[in-house]
Structure 1
């Protein structure tokens, strides 16, 4: 994670809104895209928050939800789970209100699972590669849950996928991790995420959901539905 630029420098770096600020938790949170100034630089996404806080047993005092996302972005790669690369995180209190910024690199070549189905890509890549992708998603979620993590916002638009038809390879990643956390009740966390994904899987047909769930249970047999 880069710390060369200061908080004020990042805060004053303005882009175009890709997620307009939502007023939740008594504060605001939104995401801007920062386009590179040269071809050798990466596209970045900047999550900007004002008073968008959480409290927990570990952090009884208010902390920005971006702090929780920062922790997930640092720890999930240790489990072999793809997430956006963290470039910068910083938070400062101004007039008693947390201002936080979290900057990540774009996931080049990835699209959301939501768009995967909206664009009817399964029919373009073939059944074998599509099945391979569903298994990869299931394995990723199983690794997450077996390590005691809960995404807590497990929607199809927060699962990103990439397929290389020439090499017959697939990749998947998790985004929007500001609600992610470790849970002592691992089985309950897993069930919650998977039930959430079932409800918010977009255009994924029932047959694909059953295949994904079947492979998930092969990877995480301690969880039954």
Structure 2
């Protein structure tokens, strides 16, 4: 009998430290014999990666930004996420729709009802009998925006999002909080203003509690 696929997403403002823990979690699942697909949004397919470059670097209004994000997401779902889940794989995705509600919705102040409609159109999948494809678990790396700004300072040339003022990231962080309030069972909130080892223990614990990783299986 084929093991059911798992769709896990990782969210948080820029500088929250997702990447290190995504790689560690992928290794943890592989150690237990699972096949893992690592991907990201916007991106994950040739088309979506082209759209990512536009979104991160070209000036545009919030509606254009949102439409490009959801166009990339639809291709990503069809070409990568859904096929991997149908094969019983663990899909680990750096950002998904929560980021759109946090960045374009809360950060840019774009109409949340329009984003909700786009979410319904884009994420209604045949494999779900028309229901919305949502993550089985979303790990939210919750970091105070001021701390994130310190971490990012001088790290690299900022893109259109990373160059936003602190107030923008405060709105984004609040947007993530609102998404969690709407669907708390789907979220594992991880306070990320603590040492890396402590953050990793919290991440690992969220998966052990759900029985997706064996307790003590990851160093």
TM-score of the aligned structures, taking structure 2 as reference length: 0.28
Q: Specify which structure has the bigger relative contact order, considering alpha-carbon pairs within 8 angstroms and separated by 6 or more residues.
A: 2
TM-score, with structure 1 as normaliser = 0.28
Which of the pair is proportionally richer in helix? 2
